[in-house]
Chain A
Amino acid sequence: MAEILVLVDHVDGEVKKVTFELLTLARRHGDAAAVWIGPGYEGAKDKLAEYGAAKVYVAADEELTSYVVAPKAELLAQLVAERSPAAVLVAATGEGKEIAGRLAVKTESGVLTDVVDVADGFVGEHSIFGGSIVSHAKVSKGTPIIAVRPNSTAPEAAPSTPAEEQVSVTLSDAAKAAKVVEKVVQEKGERPELTEAAIVVSGGRGVGGADNFKLIEELADSLGAAVGASRAATDAGWYPHTFQVGQTGKTVSPQLYIAVGISGAIQHRAGMQTSKTIVAINKDPEAPIFELVDYGVVGDLFQVAPKLTEEITKRK
């Protein structure tokens, strides 16, 4: 079977869940060949084996992670040229999409971004315009480069014993033009990352103030969920902008999305409409969010949310 390159998404050796989703997808269409760039492979190799990587290309040179994006694209372009993979899969994160973009230019290949599934012939499925339209697209030139939205495929373990191959690339000067002089890791606390979380609890205009977001956080913590916020809430300064879910914020696709005090304007729906199960608590029975829900409660969030948190805690 043809090889499919999967770029491993990791932070200093800690592999992101989306990588296991990509490996799972790749195995459906060929042999999954993970591409590891940067330090920390030894601590992560078992995880890649667990999710069925048939091979791992290891490029451990720190130089590859000392510059913005370009070196990773250069390494992948070299692998594409030498190994002629059937396709290249990356995570549709901010950086993943940029790597895909540069790789597409280098290899003169078509690129699909933010796909939610990959069918035979590398046809990518997109959920566009706030989830109102489902479209399918394929690459008609070069090697298909596909950026896959995190959380859109359920990762399946398939233990393997991957062959390892050390690879390196001589970087061009152009790839070394934007130097990363410092990586600043911001304390995230105990909560899972928004785009990777299985459950997301978001608060909106109805929450009414920064202090009240404690209710949202408590509900999220009872479920082990990430916290999100609508644009109304972040624009008001009640919750940091990095947690904004929506058209101009993060796109999430969790198993369960709980919208609290969020009306469900198109701006917000664009960021959460592909969630598998949707629950809403809102005092306005006409709120458009109720068109999307699997379960909705019309009521005062200040009454309903704390009771829900209490009930969940009680049932644990």
Chain B
Amino acid sequence: MNIVVCVKQVPDTATERKLRSDDKTLDREAVDGVINELDEYAVEEALTIKEAHGGEVTVLTMGPAKASDSIRKALAMGADKAVHVSDEALHGSDALSTSYALAQVLKKVGFDIVILGSESTDARTGMLAAMLSERLGVPQVTLANKVEIDGSSLKAQRLTDYGFDRVEASLPAVVSVVEKINEPRYPSFKGIMAAKKKPVEKLAVADAEIDAAKVGLAGASTEVVDFADAPPREKGQIVKDEGDGGVKVAEFLASKKFI
């Protein structure tokens, strides 16, 4: 089984994240990058599938040189090898062009199953898996909280607003998993050491037959017009409970016509 797991390096959500004033893209220099935590569930699911069905887990990431930290993390968890798409031409790619670039790479490296986290914690578009499915012409089995593979057939539970759908499809497929589908493993010391020797293939846009005109800021189909710090909320009233805190909140709610 050829399992590809897509991971993204994102700014640590615990730090203050900023946009660059020049080209209005995420300031990746200003903050510590970490693996998107929702992707750790995808890595774990990929490793679980490999353990049950055999095969190989390839980590795929697109991003600047620093993104190799996230690749190492996934390799240390147990993935076998990695493909790192990195090129100045990709800087500023939006969701549509990112999906194009990744689809080109996936066509090149091949796959039986592509697994992603449900969204990234920085852009939070939640669209990439669906876009990859559309571009690759393979089934979309997304927002899964349970995935079972039997031969070339795939069964999953897809979370919905009303509960869940039971979904069936055939491989190859694109899968996205939600938080808590599993408990991502911590890399062992042995895993961390082994990760240093695992192969990481570096690809520039030309290597993956990515048309440079369709990616990056120039190829983007959306444009950030402006941005600013959110206006601070007006300072609210804070009282200490002297036995009357509940009543005071009720009075506040009544003054706002909530009750």
Residues of A whose CB lies within 8 Å of any CB of B are: 11, 16, 68-70, 73, 93-95, 97-102, 104-106, 108-114, 123, 127-142, 174, 177-186, 188, 193, 199, 223, 241-242, 247-249, 255-256, 265-267, 270, 273, 277-279, 281, 285, 290-300, 303-312, 315-316
Contacts and interface: CB of A to CB of B under 8 A. Distances in A.
Interface stretch (B45-53, B65-73, B82-90, B227-235): B227-235
B192 interface: no
B193 interface: no
A69 B95 contact: no
A210 B83 CA distance: 44
B206 interface: no
Contacts of A183: 160, 162-163, 165-166
Interface in B131-168: 131, 133-135, 137-143, 158-168
A180 B228 CA distance: 43
24 contacts: A94-B159, A97-B127, A97-B130, A98-B129, A101-B127, A110-B94, A111-B127, A113-B125, A123-B225, A133-B17, A136-B224, A139-B223, A174-B137, A184-B163, A248-B38, A267-B14, A270-B13, A295-B237, A296-B236, A297-B245, A299-B240, A306-B246, A308-B249, A316-B259
Given A110-B94, A270-B13, A310-B246, A296 B237 contact: yes
A304 B246 contact: yes
A139 B163 contact: no
Contact of A299 (B18, B170, B241): B241
B203 interface: no
Contacts of B133: 70, 102
A296 B239 contact: yes
Label chain A's interface by main secondary structure. mixed
A11 B126 CA distance: 21
A10 to B, nearest CB: 10
A178 B156 CA distance: 10
A298 B241 contact: yes
Given A108-B221, A140-B222, A181 B167 contact: yes
A182 to B, nearest CB: 4
Contact of A110 (B37, B163, B222, B247): B222
Given A248-B38, A293-B238, 10 more contacts: A70-B133, A130-B17, A138-B222, A178-B139, A178-B169, A181-B168, A290-B238, A303-B246, A304-B241, A312-B250
B167 A68 contact: yes
A267 B229 contact: no
Nearest to B12: A266
Interface in B15-35: 16-19, 24
A104 B140 CA distance: 16
A184 B139 contact: no
Contacts of B229: 132-134
A297 B239 contact: yes
Nearest to B226: A136
B37 to A, nearest CB: 7
Given A68-B139, A270-B13, A296-B236, A180 B256 contact: no
Nearest to B94: A110
Contacts of A299: 240-241, 245
Contacts of B118: 94
B13 A267 contact: yes
B220 interface: yes
Counting from the closest, the 10 A-B pairs by CB-CB distance are: A299-B241, A307-B246, A101-B127, A110-B221, A186-B163, A135-B227, A141-B221, A177-B139, A98-B130, A311-B250
A94 B221 CA distance: 22
A68 B259 contact: no
B127 A98 contact: yes
Contacts of A297: 238-241, 245-246, 248-249
Given A296-B238, A316-B259, A69 B130 contact: yes
Contacts of A100: 127
Contacts of A188: 162
Contacts of A186: 162-164
A295 B236 contact: yes
Given A134-B227, A178-B139, A297-B249, A277 B221 contact: no
Contacts of A315: 250, 254, 259
A98 B95 contact: no
A298 B244 CA distance: 11
A174 B133 CA distance: 9
Contact of A223 (B24, B139, B166, B259): B259
A123 B129 CA distance: 25
A135 B252 contact: no
B96 interface: yes
Contacts of B80: none
Contacts of B126: 94, 97-98, 101, 113
A137 B224 contact: yes
A315 B249 CA distance: 13
A70 B137 CA distance: 10
Contacts of A306: 246
A298 B238 contact: yes
